[in-house]
Structure 1
């Protein structure tokens, strides 16, 4: 018998997202403007420092780059 709960989930829900993909999801959820080169650099530094993707989003992109 095959478990149906796992089979019912789309493949993208079963895969683990990279750190940057998590940040990009936050950006899409908040309708953020595209990243500039300075923000990309700061996000790479935040990732290297072990910062949580959500915290990095708040620190680097912040509310001033979000439009609802």
Structure 2
């Protein structure tokens, strides 16, 4: 029998975040404008090529897409 700790982390802290969810978190952190269809397409290509979410965000969305 496995004992659970009283200090077990909530589910949202232990679940795996998908690649695109990670990009969306970066977008929220940088107050980015919504993605264009071209940016979304480029992100899908980057994911297929093994680019890390942060690097893909930086290369494809970047600071030019930030709203103030």
Q: Paired residue for 1:30?
A: 30
Structure 2 runs not aligned, ≥5 long:
none
- Cα distance in 1, alignment partners of residues 21 and 13 from structure 2: 13
Aligned counterpart, 1:11 = 11
Runs of 4 or more above 3 Å deviation: none
What are structure 1's unaligned runs of at least 5 residues? none
Taking structure 1 as the reference length, the TM-score comes to 0.88
CA distance in 2 between partners of 1:29 and 1:57 (Å): 11
> 1:66: Cα distance to partner?
1.2
Scaled by the length of structure 2, what TM-score is found? 0.88
Distance in 1, matches of 2:32 and 2:10, equals: 26
CA–CA distance in 2 between the matches of 1:57 and 1:2?
37
